[in-house]
Each structure stands twice: as C-alpha cells, then as structure tokens.
Structure 1
Amino acid sequence: MDFPAPTAQIETLPNGLTLILDPSPAAPVVSAQVWVETGSIHEDQLLGTGLSHFLEHMVFKGGGNFGPAELAGTVQGAGGHWNAYTTFERTVYYIDGPASGLDAFLEVLAAMVFHPHLPESEFEKEKDVIRREIDMGLDDPDDRGHRLLFETAYSHDARRQPVIGHRELFDRIQYDDLRRYHATRYTPNRCCLCLAGDFDPALVREKIDTLFGSLPRGMACEPSPPAEPDQLSPRVGRDTFAIPATRLTLAWKTPPAGHPDQPALDLAAAVLGKGRSARLYRALREDRPLALEISAWSWSPASGDGLFAVSAEVLPEKRDELLAGIRRLLADFPDTKLRKDLDKARRQIASAQFKTLATVSGRATDLASNWHQARDLDFTRHYLQELDRVTPDDVRRAIRHLLETPEILVFLDPEDAPAPAAVRTATPAVHEVETFTLPNGATLSLLPDPRVPLISLQAAIRCGAPAETPATAGINRLFAASLPHGTQRHSGAELAGLLESLGASFGASAGNNSVIAQLSGLSGDLATLVPLFGEILGSPALPADAIERERASQLASLREMLEDPLSLAFRELRPLVFGGSGYGLHSLGSEESLAGLDRLTLAAHHSLHVRGPNLALALAGDFDPAEARALLTAAFETLPGGEAWLPAASEIPDPAERVHRLDKKQAVLALGFRGCAALDDDRHALRFLQEWCSDMAGPLFTRIREDLGLAYRVGATQFHGFDTGLFAFYLATDPSQLDLARRELLGEIEKLAHHGIPAEAFERVRATVLSATALDQQSPGSIARHAAVDTLFGLPATHHRELTALYQSITAEQVREVAARLLAPPPCTSLILPE
C-alpha cells in the first residue's frame, strides 16, 4: 500500500518564511504550527545553558497586543489546544482546534513567536520554574539514562549537552542573553508556518501576509557547533539511581539521515526490537528470562552521527549475562533468514506513518518534519519506498559494518548494585619484586607490572663526574652518546633498524653519579631485547667516525652553553663548591678535554666501569619473572667482575666568589651550598625545601619576582652525590638591579635558615611533593630507573615505593633544622655580568 503523495502547497515569502498549506475539508478542525530551526545545539557561546528551552517558556508571557492572560484566553476562547517543545535542533509551537478559530490561532502564534514581550519581571520567576524542572529531570530515571547515553556517546557534539541545560550554566543566563538570542534566531528565514485542516487557502493567505509578511529577514550567519571526531575505541558510562533494576543501553554510531544504510538500519532495529515478536524480546525475555524489558531503535538526525541501540531493563545479577546474550544475538543476526521479518518490519513502520495522517495535527507535523529534515514535503513517501527496496543482504551488510565500529555501553544501576564487569576496575596488584646478584657482582632487579604490554630495561653504571679529570672532562657524556652506534656484531645502522623494526628504543645519558642506559619495547620481544641490551653494554663498537660526530655535537652544545648566562653561572659555580675535579667539572667538558678523547680513551673508560660490581640493572613491565631471570643472567654473567670502582673523596674548598663577563644584557647570580649525599637522611627534608623555593607560590617567586619585580627568573635546584651534593639558588635580573636582587635573595635565604617553611604553607608543599612523586612512578621506564639507581647506591629496589610514606612523615621542624644546617655557612657565588 503506497503512502499518499502530499497535496500541500509550499512557498517561501520574500522575507524567507516557509509557508506550507494543506487544506482538507474532511473535518472542521485545523492545526497551526510554527517550526523554528533553532534548538539547544545552536546556543553557541551559551551552549549547555538550556537557553532555547528557557526562551520557549518565556514567549508564553505575552506578545504583540496580547498580555500573558490574553494569549491564553484568546486560544481558549477559540477552542484551541496549544503547547510547545524544544529539541536539539528545533523549537515548535502549535495550536490545534476548530477551523473557526484559525484567525485567532495565527494572531497568537505571530504575536508570541515573533513579537514576544519577554517581560523582565518574569525572568527570575520563570527561571525558578525551570530550575524545578531541571531538578525533576534529575529525579527521573528516563531523563538520567538519556543524559548518560548522550554524554557517553558524544565527546564534542553539542548533543551531549541536555536540552534543558545544566543547572550551574542555566543560572548564568542573563536577561540580555534571552533577548539577543530571540532577535538572532527567531527570524522568518529560519521558520516554517504549516497549516493543515479545513480552511480556504486564499483567505488564509491574506491573513498570513498581514501577520507575517512584514517580519524582517534575519542574518544568514549560523553558529558552528563542535564537530564530533571519529570514535576510535569503545566507550562505557555508568551511574547509579534509586531504581530496582538496571537500565542498560548498547549502542553504535550511525550516519545521518540520507545515508544509504539508514533504511536498512531502521528495518534491522524493528526486526530486533519492535514488539513482542521481535527477536531480542523473544530470545532474551521470553525464551531466556534475562531482560525485564528490551527493545531496539535507530535514530538518524539531519546532520551528524546518529545511534543504533538496544535498550533493556534487567536485574543487576543478570546484567552481564544479558549483555553477552545481546552481543551474541547481534553477531549471529546477519547469518539468519530475514525476508519474512523484514516484511513485517516494513508494515510496522508504514503503519506508524499512516497513523500520522489520521489527524490534522499529525499531517501538519509530517509535512513540517519533512521540510525540516529534508526540505522535501514528500520525504516520508520516498523513505517508505526506500524501505521497500532494502534487501536482506543490505541489512546484513549494514549490521556487519555497524558491529565493526566501536560500541557505546551505558548502565544506570540501582544504588546498591555492584559495578558491571564492563566497568569494574580491578584493584591493582603490587607484584613481588626480586633482586639478585650475579657471580660477577652485577645487581639485577625484576619489577613485574602486567598492566601494559611494555618492558623497560635500565642500567645504572657507577661513574659520573667523580670518574672524570680535567683532562677527561666530558667523557661520560661522549661515551653515552656513542653507545647506540653499534656493537661488535651489529653496525649502528643494523642496530637502529633492528630496534625500530620492533618498535623499541635505546638511549643513554650521563649524570652526576652514573651513566644510565635504557632499552624499552613491547613485552613480546623480551627474548630479543634482553640479549641485545647485554650486547650493547658489554661489547659496544665505539666506532671512531661515530665518536667524531658525537664529539662535534657535544662541542657545539658546549659552545652554546658558554653563551647562555644561566648555564654558564652553574658551570662557574661547580669548581667553587667542589674544587677543580669530580663534581667541580661540567658534564660537557671543555674544548681541550674533548679534543683529547678518542676511541681508545672511551674503550678504557668502558673497560673500567662496565663491569659487574659497578652495574645495577632493573627490568620493569609485563614479563614472566622466570624467563626474565634466565635471559638477564645469560646476557650479563659474562661481564668481568673484580673490584668495584669507588670515587675519591670530594674536595671542600673555602667559599669564594667568581665573576665572569659575557656579552649579554642580563645578569645572573648563582649561590651554591653543600648539599646532601645520596644516602643522607636529610635528603627527604631537602626535597621539601627545594619545592618551596622553586614553586610559584614560594618565597623567592612571590617576593623577588612578583612583589618587587627584580628578577624574571628565580628558583632553587639540587643534586645528591656519592659523598656530598649541591643546593643552589639562582636568579636572572637586569644588571642595574643586581645588588638589590642579591640582597633580597640573601634575605630570603636567611629567613629559610631561621624559619624553614611557614606552617600555613607546609601542607601545600607536602601535597606538591607527593603529587610529583606519584607522577614520577607511573611508567615502566621511570620505575626501572628508580630501581637501578637505588640499588646502585645499596638501597632496596622498592625504595621508590617508600618515598610517599617518608614524605608523609616529614615535619616542618625537620625541614627547619636541615635548612639551618645547610644554609648556615656562607655560599659560593657565581656572577655572570655584561661586558
């Protein structure tokens, strides 16, 4: 049976108003509707406030020559029934009633929609009404479930915001926002006036010209709602509510209306979930009593992604089983016979559409909806014809493609229900850490963590600045840079290609106390990566040409550093604090020392330091401990043993000051104090002091930079060494302000020495330290690095896990005592001044 073609007339008035007239004398009734093409997605900068819905309420407060009581009285006196509603993309006002009242209905619609009074005296009153409506919605499980679905399904699309708005955003709406939104959006070129029923088109046309013809056309500019990016992975949302059963929706994104798959998906939704004979209902409610209620639906908006969904109510204890049943039925759906079910679904959809033609209100809604959706009054008939052309293969293909896309899953659970398996978070296990020592003295630590299929190998080699002399300064940096350039078995190119083919990476760096080498990759490549790591560390090629290239790069970095005032200040500070060797040397070396470093020097350095007693290795990530233990043992047991290299005691020169001139416009001051050794108990208190002195809320920044404007850079830094360390303050300032800035910095240091961290700030500092500690212990790489360095110094491989408790136990008095000892001696001073 064919859906009848429309006989309505459509035209566009000069001001852009679309007019649809559908006269029919079948019954003495009419429906007058104004469709405004604006809804919650068009609120632009006020998106999420519910402004469109609020305006819908306010237009009923009078318009044109009608006060609010007169509007209602006129409609009621003419026998009309009126209402309005707002959706994502439209606001609709309609009056149904006897044909004799049409003139009055048109006058009321013209007045309220296009000439509303919007009385300011009613603004706050109506806001209170909508606040109660918002609260009622939050108390309604259907509304909460709808919100949860759209918030989960859409990450950027404006439809993730509720039409009624968020309470906290709704409260921000100002009266001028309301008037401005009406003036901008309620324009004739964005509206359709649709009339259906018993009327004379010629007479009505004159009335329409009088009431609507002089309305000014609005600007054509439209807001640009946020575009929804492609969904790349499944999404799950959950909330709880005072309901006896779970409300579950499993959904997928679909194309907008007009896409070739839309009719097939609509039919599939009907076959699966429309009525008591639908497949989901029969299989999962009747045959297996899992669902209390279950249905399927498909929604295709005019633009943007739509949804294909299965919705159900289920007792929490059957929730996971029902979800598995839905997925199984959908997976099997394309392989089943469909022809009879599709015929039934077509008749169901056609029947629902035919029913809209039984009333004038339904006919007007169908016509206006067709205009709004497709600018085609015959869209419904064309759509039903498309349904008739859909084959079982079309449906199978559409569902297969749908199931290949990421799903959306939401649960609205009873308040006391346990979380479903899909959102249940397992308590992360703290896996057993194992540390063992090879016969050659190398210490190996295993830190399993199966959360992510990654592994990180870290090796800490005891050397660092104390292993350098003025003649070899920079050797650790050059040695670390040369390690990736091949082994005795693999050239540098072969090594790089092998690592990159595995998605792995190798790197090495030189620090104050060690050279750190790391190799990271996928856990499935453990058996390849561990031997390769042993090969890189145990038999590096150290090719002369690569060393020459790395020397040139290091020399460039050195020259650049010598032109940077702050870096130069610290380079000059080191020998003042530590003398002319060890920590007094800079890791980049000097032009003279770099010129003397060659392959033989680096090979000797490797031979001295890369041996068992100087090596601490750690493996963190997803691996089998037994396999890892065997692989690491085989890879590193052949390294030479012998005696551990131990650094000489650091020098302790008297405090001194050094001035260096540089052709720059700024002045830099660095003040150095002896800090802690790596194992000193005071190091934990010093962590607090450094944080306080480096923080933007700390005394240096607030006093010297913000209050006085004396420095554009100010802070503190530190490192811990084998037997001593450095705690330094620095600032960069205008040379004309250096003396004052220096006095202020020394004054703040004196306050720290006497008072430590103020009581009112101490807990804030603790929170920052704890946060930084937690952030630094997330990845396998950082965990392995902590374990390698700690075991190199004789600490447990799990020492990093103890830091939180240690920091939580530190008191303000401990920090004050450490600050008093540390800052009591006069500092060493490095000054960089303009030439």
Structure 2
Amino acid sequence: MITKKIIIYSLFLILSVTSLVHAASDDGTTYANLGNGMKLVLKENHSSPMITSVVFVNAGARYENEKTNGMTHFLEHLLFNGTSTRDRIELNETIKEHGGYINAFTRKDLTAYLVLMPKEYIDTGLAIQADQLFNSALPEDEFPKEKKIVIEEIRKSNDVPSTLADYYFNEVVFEGTPYARTVLGTAEHISSLTRADVIEYYKKYYIPNNMTALIIGDFETERMIETFDRYFGHYEKGKMPKIDLVNFMIPDGRRIEETAIDTKNFHVDLALPAPHYTDPDYYPYYMLVEYLGSGESSPLTKHIEDKGLASSIYSSLETQRDFSMLRISATTDSEKNARAVIWEVEKILSNPEFLTPSYDAFRGMIVSKKTQEIYLREKLHYYGFIIAPMMVSTGYEFVETLVDSLENVEQAEMAEVASKYFSDIKYVGTLVKPAEFEEDEVLSAGITETKKVTFDNGLEVIIKQSPDSRVLAVNIFGKNRAAMEPPGKDGITDFLNRMLEKGTENYDKETLSEKLANIGAQLTVTDNPYIPYDDRYTSKQYAFVKFETIDEYASEGLELLSEMMIRPALDSAEVENVRREMMAALGMASASTYQTARNSFYEMMFGPNHAFSKVPLGTQRSIATISADNLKAYHKRFYAPNNMIMTVCTNLEAEWVLSRLQKTFGQMQQVSLGKIEIPAPDTPTGIVKSNTPMDKEQVYIYLGAPTIGINHPDYAALDVATEILSSRLGLELREVQGLAYSVGAGLSTAPDFGWFLVTMGTGTDNYQVAYDGIMAEIDKIRDAAVSEDELRRAINSIWGSSLTRQLSRINQAYYMTFYEFMGPGYDYKDEYIEKVKGVTIDDVLRAARTYLPSEDYYLATVGLR
C-alpha cells in the first residue's frame, strides 16, 4: 500500500545514488530499490539505540539438487571465514569489539545474514556485512575444517528424535519436490562438496538483485538509504537464477507412512491442503488454523491433549511461494494414543461445531496477533528471524498488512472455509515410533523513572516507567527454588508454574485462556523443552513468571496476573494433564547428551544432598508422586509475598501501577519461611570425573569448578577473562580444528559464590583431542598476558550482549529482577558494564591465574568415548 513516491530528496542523493527509488507506506515502512536491483525495507524504531540489518538471499535447499544438498548451509558457514580484505578473525571479532552481534541462518527457501549494532557503529557493521556477502574468499584450506563443523552439526541434529521425525515427515509429504531435502544435507553430501562447486553456487545466487535487506532500528530513513547504498550499491547486478515452480498437492485420500527411530515418544504429523496466500480464502483459513491450536481453549487442546491422548499438539500454516499447507503435529506416549490422535483430528475437522469459536475467542485471537507483533518488534534481531520465511515467500508488504487483513475476517467466513476444505478430509501423514516399545483508566508516563518499594507483607516491587514502548512487562521471581522444594518432590516448582495457566478459583481454563487472548497477553512460565538448549532463563535458584500485554490493557492484565499467582485452581484433572506433559519433557531430556552431562556435572560438584544438584524439571519418579494437595501446600510457601520479587516495566505512571498491585498482591498474607542457606560447593582435589555411556554420535563435555560470584570485586575481571577464553576456544577448536559445532566457556553465579564452565559437543572419535584442546587454552590464558585487541573485543562483546539481551521490555524486567535477587541491586546493569570497561590486561591475567582451574576441576562426559 504505497501512498507517495519520493523522486528527488536532495541534490546530493541525485548525484550519489544510482537509479534509487523508494516509497513509504502508511505505517512508516519505507521500500527502496538500489540501482543494482537490491531491495530495501526500512522501519524506524527509536526505543533502543540499536540497528539491525538482515539481508535475505534467495538461496536454500529448494535451489539445490540431490548432489548439492547442504551446499547453501555449508556456504553460509564459509562466508564467516574471511574476505579478500578481511581475515576470519577481523570479520567476526570487529563486530564484537564494537558491541555488535553477527549471525546467519539457512532455511529451505532462504539464507539470512544479520548484523545488530549500536547505532554509532552501524557503518562498521554494514561495511562488514557487504564485504562478507560479495567478497568472501572461500579459502580452500578452510574447507576441511568447515566440513568437520557442519558434520558435527548434522550429528547433533541426528541425536534429536523430534528432528528425525521432522525429516521423515518432509521426505514423505514432499516426495519428489525440493522440500523433501534437509537444510543440512548429509555427512556424505558435505564430504563430497568441492570448492569449484561452491564458488559456482556462490556466484550464481549471491548477487544484489537476488537479495532483500530488512533494516530496523534507531536511524533516519533518508540517511540510512544513503548509507546502505554506499556499502551495497556499487556491486553489479547479475543474471537472476531460474526459479522453478514447485507443484505440490495433497492427493485425495488419507495416507499414513510409518517408521521407527531411537526415541521414547510417538510422533504424529499430518499435512492437509490449504489455500495459497493470494487466495481470498487464505485469511479465514489462517484464523481457522490459529483457533485450532490457540491454547487451552482450542479444539486440539480440549479434545486431544486434555483427554490425555497427547502431551503436546499444535497446528501451523506453512506459507511458501508456490503453495500453503496445514500441519498438525502431536507427541504422545503409545501407539494406541497416536492412532487415537489421528482419529480425533479427523473428527474435529469434520465437525463445524468444533471449528466455530465464540465471539470473545475470535476477537481474542485478533488482539493476540496484534500484540504479539508489538512484542516481536522490540526484539530487533529476532524479528528478522521470525518473519523471514513468510517475507521471502510473500514479500514484506503482505507480512506488514497481514494482521489488518485478519482483522477483517468474519466468523461466517471461517465456517465457509472449513466446509470447503474439510468436508472431504484428505491428508498425508507420518507416524514415528520408538525402535523398541511396549504397547500402552490509565495514565502514560512522560519521563523515565524507577521506583522500588517493599509492601508490608514483604513483597519487593520494582517499577520502571519510560515512554519508549507500549508494552507492559511484568517479571516475577519466586526465590530459592530448589532449596524450597520438599524432599522427594524435585520438579514441583516447574509443575506449579505450568499449573498457573490451567485455571483459577474464579476462571476455568478455557475462560482464563480467552481472557488472556482478549488482551493479547503473553505468559511464559518455563523455558521450552522442545527447543534444544532453550534453557537460558531456567535456574535452580529461582522460578520466573513473565507476563506481557500492552498498556491499554494494563488494568485487565494485572488483574489476571494476580488471579493466576494468588488463586490458581490446581485441580486434580489438570494436574494429570500437566504430569503427562512433564513426563514427555523428561523423556526427551533423558535422550539428550547435553542435559545428561549437565545434570551429572552439578551432582558431582554440589553433592547428592545439595539443592543445586536437583534437576529443575524433576525426575519421572518425583513427578509421579506430586498431588494436587502437594501443589496447594507448596504454592502457599513458594509464592508467598515475602518470597517474591516483582519488576514492572511500563509506559504508565509508577504510582498508578503501585496502587493496582497494592490492591491485589499487597493483600497477600506473609508466611514464615525460616532461614534458607545455600552452601558453596567444595573445590575438588585433582580431577573428579564421571562418564555416562550413551549410544550417540557425539560426546558432550561439561568441565568446570567453583569460583567467585557476582558480588566479588574480581568478578568483572574474571568475566572478561572467561569471555576471552570462550572466544579462543571457538577459534581454535571450532574454526581451526573443526572439532565442534558449539563450544564455549562461561560463568554462572549465586549471590555468594559462582562456578566456571566449559561445554562442548564433539564426535566420539574427537573426544581426547577436544579435551586436550580445552585444557591447553585454559593453561594458555593463565600463563601469558592477552593482547589489547583481545581485551577490547571481550569488553565490547560483553557490553553488546548486555544491550542485545535487554532489547525487549520483558527482558529488561527479567534482568532487573535478577540483579536485585543476586544482591547488587536492580540498577546494577550499567554499573557492571562500567566495571567491565575498566578491566585491564593485568586484571585479566590475575583473575585467570587465581580463579580458572588448571588441575582441580570436575569433568562430566556423556557418550561413547
């Protein structure tokens, strides 16, 4: 929807920008074309002093063949190995040393390259991004190393049962099309790739007229177009690659293909026909898919998950350039239930009554889509990741107007579309089984200000008011999580958190879900166990509850949050549903080398009776024993007001928010908690080892030792030393030797102590070399001073990571709560960064020699060494 054309905007631009035309839409998005055909989409966002540039290349598995499968992703890796003017280290570390972030990802239809920079360094970021895309050297001596890294990534992927189930689904459903191929390819494919093949592919697809850049952040559009043209505009356009139409249709009938893999669960996936995004039916169909999997009140949840037939089930609408497809996926615990899931899906889709939402549920879905878009836009780098597939398939204007188009959908249109597509149900699906199994009135704030108060009942409340965003974000910590769990009830905190959204004393689950949807609320009570390594926020020290809505719904949102926190229903039927959900998550965790190594490490370091040796999710034995009465008793203690810290980030006046919280949370009764002490772990004498055999393609390594915590005066110096070590490990063991897809060092902290960690996944045949390499790098940083360049890069990397983590209001609230809990205070972030910036080379050497282990440490490994 273009409202004006800007032909001439300054004499300077006429002279310097070749054939550049751009236009602005009503929502402030500007679309521009450089003279070489490169497309720009620009969106100003001044809430944070950061700018992200995401360049999408029309290259992916769709454009490969059987011989070259995996080449696009392999090329993505190679583009981080240096250009004709910058070596690998300069390419990657220059971004970090300026506080930025650089990354890339490959999908079946696209490859995306991202830089996120503080606005004062965006020129540096764009110069490197353009150089990377158009001038990569693809050095032949890097090929063996990168092949090893990608093969390690393939191995890691092949160790995840849900990924293998997804691969099988794509092979069956997309047979005969490019979408049947994986993005990663196979180890055999990667091993056989030649430099000549890769260069040919690179020159064919990496041309400016085959690229689109999405630029979001704190900039002035006219100046950014000029800047972008300076770095990208002089590269010549090329001959556009031919894009063959993908003819994909779901045939008549209902077909299920089956296979068996190394998994503990049963995976059901169904593919059903859906309208193309240009079809008027697309929007009501989209709403239908949203309703099918819209949460606690959705048909799939009510008729399948709540009946205990599946531990999880969801629906998604896959929108590609040439076709659309409805996918319904479920995870369950038996073949009987898997087949019952398929039968129930058929029953739901063929019954109009099940597919007709109430008016409130219908409007709630619209509000949810609108508010989710607002939340997502705060996270500049994630926004590009999330919208990438649809944007490349449909164009940005379609994505930008999607919510407005959905808002015009009528309930009757949903019914018509359901009748049209599901009157004669047809699908292709897969059933993946275990290889061996047994059957069974609001005021806005104009200034930035932060207040901290403690209510009479002991609740600590921190409120940051600022006019930079419409989001109202609330983060709550329940303190001393593992220490407060009763004996034999490990995981009860996680259980309780999952129960918070299952209904309250005043609202049943469906009503609560609708009310949350009606205000576009986003509630997060656990990390996602279905995303590998998504446990950034999970801690043995506290439990978190994150709640987001927008300021216009603040009153309703705070009332609903208080309902869930103060008066959860905790009824027996929902307890059983959550128990099944947790058992499934525990089953997945038991197959993970990463999680098994982590659990083994903590049990060794803290000892079997220490709170921190507990697994946050619990064990299958402990979860099996938890009752509704246990949860009710635990809720009164764990979420007592004097055991909570609450942080609110909002555009509203702090006094107004405080008055609302006082009427709800302020009326809670304080309880006697007693003194809770968390003893520091003992430093071992020598190397304490543990190995858990597991028949996987990788060995996972957890190596570490106790050290100082965040309140120690040397912590900033140790943090910088650890950042330098982590960078060296990545450079030497990943980039040079190709031993791992991921390797790194880090610090974890409690208020009074901390611990140092190195983690790495590597092939079974690489274990000894990897272990020796880790110890060599630790010894090196203890024995010799670091360079000025390394110090600067590490400091700016910590600074940039801090900025990136706190782009969104909800993460700002989380980290303010974190610092308050740890002891330095909610406003410690900026003070800590200043401490980091003051670290010297001598400080790093002293911290490394004093606190990094060389002879006394714990070593946990999982796999066949």
TM-score (structure 1 length as normaliser)? 0.49
Say which structure, 1 or 2, has more relative contact order (CA 8 Å, 6+ apart). 2
Larger radius of gyration: 1
Task: Using structure 2 for the length normalisation, give the TM-score.
Answer: 0.48
